[in-house]
Structure 1
Amino acid sequence: MNLFAETWRYLLDGSNWTENGGFLSRLVEQLLVSFTALGLAMAIGLPIALWLGHLGRGGFLAINISNVGRAVPTFALLALLVTLDWPGSGYFGPYGRAGLATLIALGLFALPPLITNAYVAVREVPLEIRQAADGMGMSGAQKFWRVELPLSMPLVMSGVRLALVQVWATSTIAALVAGPGVGRIITEGFATNTYSQGMAGAVVVAAVALVLELLAAVAQRLVDPVPRARAGSSPNREEQLSEPRPKVAEAADTVGR
């Protein structure tokens, strides 16, 4: 119980947040690394996965190649990268020591859920809706941007949500190669037998992960076109008593607006 009390006192001590190398500065470092790595992974992985999903081929190969990253521990990849001449362990702007190696390792770690969810999301758009778009004379690009992409966004965002939380939690390993982030506070605490410091760092990482998860869940709900269409409509009594429309027709009307 003393450890929990000491951890709580450590968290409540303002100097541990504001001093150089304290929680605030380390949080900024880790957020910067996490969102940059996620952004790079999204910029590379999402266009490829969405395009392959639209074409309906090549997805099996892309998903399995990206899933190879799951078999390689992120720390092992990071340790390998910092030993190479490039990217090495040098300072990389605001990302600190071994910043580039950390970004590459985390970006590769974020690719599997992004690619898998994006490809599956486009392929799971109902065939009836695709055929309706073809019947309306839409071109391939129009069908993708006006039908497939809006309907697939909830599942795409689910992949982004998963990747975000995973990258945030895993980015603490940067401290093991003297990189940026809250992991530095955790490793320093356990290295000096100041367990309350290490525990406090772990609590902060977990708390921020919960906040990011909630924010991503809200964003995922906002990009779902069908619930937004339902929420934005105010049916009259006759519509309420009438037979509900099929989901396919409702979705087609939503994305066609």
Structure 2
Amino acid sequence: MIFADAFAWLLDAANWTGPKSIPVRIGIHLLYCLGAVVGASLIAVPLGLYVGHTGRGGLVLVGGSNALRALPTLGLVTFLYLIAGGGTVGVLIGLIVLAVPPILAGAYAGVQEVDRGVVDAARGMGMTGAQRLWRVEVPNALPLLVGGVRNATLQVVATASVAAYVGIETLGRPLIDGLRVLDYGQFVGGAILIALLAVALDLLLALAGRFVVPKGLRLSAQPRRRRKVAPVQVGGSTA
């Protein structure tokens, strides 16, 4: 019954037109997600690469990242919204703070997981530290780095819904309005839209990863298929 009401709400033409329509809210939701992921990447990627390359501050990095993960989402966004005096800046900063840990972890772990033999070989060829980082470590770290960006995107898509609590017309608005008037069809419909948006963005980033990550790394990450060995005839018997 609830899902029938949800699909009825989704198919209602009135919800697809006007300044507070579903397309407008999807666009606002996407803008906040894009701003948060890009802003977090500008902070987390250089920091993660530096710590992973130099090995300095790894313990502080992990501890700080875990501390950021423990921050309450709604409280942080609301607090920064009030500190910034309203508007979108506080909400965007809150989303950036929450998106930093997974990207930071992906960049740091990606560099740390690079085979030390490969790095030593590059050093033996006379490469400088910067050359080893950008020509050896970063290409090999891309799978984990892209995975960190994907995790951050999924988290931000879900978290951006709380921006509706401070009056921003994201996809969280149907959730709040549905709960306020006990319209569970609207509530579930909004949740379905958020889930579909998260899946669509994840698939898009997975496709982008296929072009960014070198083919050799993608093939090496796939499980190897065991080759079937044909039986050998030995002295009239099968071995």
Q: Same fold (TM over 0.5)?
A: yes
Counterpart of 1:88? Answer: 85
Identity of aligned residues (%): 40
Moved over 4 A (4+): 228-231
Question: Which of these residues, 206, 220, 225, is aligned with residue 214 of structure 2?
Answer: 225
* CA displacement 1:135-171 (0-9 Å, x = unmatched): 2111111111111100001100110000000001111
Q: What aligned pairs does 1:93-242 form with structure 2 within 5 A after superposition?
A: 99-227=88-216
What displacement does 1:175 show?
0.8
Secondary structure, in 3 states, of the residue corresponding to 2:139?
Answer: helix
More deviation, 134-143/152-161: 134-143
Matching of residue 26 in structure 1 with residue 25 in structure 2: yes
The CA RMSD over aligned residues, in Å, is 1.7
What displacement does 1:131 show?
1.2
Distance of 1:229 and 1:204 partners within structure 2: 31
Counterpart of 2:52? Answer: 53
What displacement does 1:104 show?
0.9
Unaligned runs of 5+ in 1: 92-98, 232-257
Aligned residues between the structures: 220
* CA displacement 1:225-251 (0-9 Å, x = unmatched): 2437869xxxxxxxxxxxxxxxxxxxx
Counterpart of 2:224? Answer: none
> Are the aligned partners of 2:140 and 2:217 in contact in 1 as well (CA < 8 Å)?
no
Secondary structure, in 3 states, of the residue corresponding to 2:20?
Answer: coil
Distance of 1:208 and 1:224 partners within structure 2: 24
Question: What TM-score comes out, normalization by structure 1 length?
Answer: 0.81
Distance of 1:230 and 1:154 partners within structure 2: 11
Unaligned runs of 5+ in 2: 221-239
Counterpart of 2:66? Answer: 67
Distance of 1:175 and 1:9 partners within structure 2: 23
> Are the aligned partners of 1:66 and 1:115 in contact in 2 as well (CA < 8 Å)?
yes
Question: What TM-score comes out, normalization by structure 2 length?
Answer: 0.86
